[in-house]
């Protein structure tokens, strides 16, 4: 989770803010309104229209969404899809290829099997037989885009939860810019983008949360201007069995939740969509492979790693450069 920290005042200008529920969580918008700019009611209508579109197209918690209707289709089926869904499928393919299949949009059957998904019944370690059966319906290679249709050659199910919020934030940011709003902080389910300055000329400050499941504590505060920020972590949604901790984040190659000691990853890059997907990808890869990937691709990354004495943090030069260095 991430939170915006506001301060400052202006000469006749004001900071407007609103928010509400979305995607099983919340969203919030804060922006500098100049004289003659759109009023907050118009901005709110525009934003909530985007949220409604995303819910109608991508929600796995409503049976009539575009993606759930696709998920209900049998193998060797196609369905005409809106452009945003096809865009996210292409992004998912890119991330799957770059992670050698560890990241995958088709893990929803695995999440249900382990008890984390929308149709999950009980959080438990499945049998080897049950896991092998479900793995037949997992893999981005079973998807194909044909014009404006999405097709599948196996009874797979697509889950956009690792990139939908980032896409939503980027879409909201584009709409704000079109409305003449050039200083804002847009956030959905913890993924955010901050652009411009606050009324006092200072940058937007973002609090990165310490990975604790009992309370919210700021691990670090950073400055953000023009970038998307996303954090993925395994510290809230998990279960324990036989002394082993099982996270809701899956490695699609093994069909099992991650078990390494990387607790959370924060990514900062221009695209919130890609920050959202990459934070999940790096979390799946773990503290060594994930770090090497971030360095190779020049991705600003902040790692929080479990240690015997608590947590240790690790940041790369790209993160320090894009976040303006450490802020007290």
Tell me the average pLDDT of the chain.
Answer: 90
Burial code of 290-313, b = ≥16 C-beta within 10 A, e = fewer?
bbebbeeeebbbbbbbbeeeebee
Contact 172, 280 (CB under 8 A): no
Q: Please write the tens of the pLDDT for every residue from 9-34.
A: 445 689 999 999 999 899 999 999 99
Q: Please write the tens of the pLDDT for every residue from 270-318.
A: 999 999 999 999 999 999 999 999 999 999 999 999 888 888 899 999 9
Contacts of 299 (CB under 8 A, 6+ apart): 267, 269, 278, 282, 293, 316, 318
Instruction: Give me the count of residues in the chain.
Output: 328
Q: Model-level pTM?
A: 0.91
Give the domains, in start order, of the chain with CATH numbers: 1-328 (3.10.520.10)
Q: How far is CA 10 from CA 148, 232, 251, in A?
A: 47, 35, 48
Contacts of 127 (CB under 8 A, 6+ apart): none
User: What parts of the chain have a pLDDT lower than 70?
Assistant: 1-12, 118-121, 210-219, 235-237, 325-328
């Amino acid at each position: 989770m991430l939170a915006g920290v506001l301060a400052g005042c202006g000469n006749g200008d004001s900071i407007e803010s609103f928010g509400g529920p979305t995607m099983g969580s919340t969203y919030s918008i804060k922006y500098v309104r100049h004289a003659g700019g759109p009023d907050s009611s118009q901005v709110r209508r525009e934003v909530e229209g985007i949220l409604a579109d995303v819910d109608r197209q991508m929600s796995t918690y409503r049976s009539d969404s575009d993606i759930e209707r696709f998920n209900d289709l049998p193998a060797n089926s196609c369905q005409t899809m809106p452009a945003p869904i096809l865009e996210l499928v292409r992004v998912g393919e890119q991330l799957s290829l770059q992670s050698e299949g560890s990241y995958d949009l088709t893990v929803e059957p695995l999440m249900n099997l382990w008890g984390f998904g929308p149709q999950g019944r009980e959080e438990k370690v499945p049998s080897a037989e049950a896991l092998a059966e479900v793995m037949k319906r997992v893999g981005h290679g079973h998807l194909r885009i044909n014009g404006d249709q999405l097709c599948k050659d196996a009874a797979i199910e697509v889950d956009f939860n690792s990139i939908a919020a980032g896409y939503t934030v980027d879409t909201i940011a584009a709409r704000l810019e079109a409305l003449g709003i050039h200083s804002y902080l847009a956030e959905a389910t913890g993924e955010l983008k901050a652009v411009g300055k606050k009324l006092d000329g200072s940058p937007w400050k973002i609090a990165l949360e310490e990975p604790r499941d009992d309370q919210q504590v700021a691990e670090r505060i950073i400055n953000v201007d023009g970038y998307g920020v996303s954090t993925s972590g395994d510290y809230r949604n998990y279960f324990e069995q036989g002394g082993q901790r099982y996270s809701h984040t899956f490695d699609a190659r093994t069909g099992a939740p991650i078990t390494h000691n990387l607790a959370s990853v924060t990514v900062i890059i221009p695209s919130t969509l890609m920050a959202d997907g990459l934070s999940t990808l790096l979390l799946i890869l773990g503290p060594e492979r994930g770090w090497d990937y971030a360095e190779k691709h020049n991705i600003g990354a902040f790692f929080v790693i479990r240690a015997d004495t608590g947590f240790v943090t690790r940041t790369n030069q790209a993160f320090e450069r894009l976040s303006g260095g450490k802020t007290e």
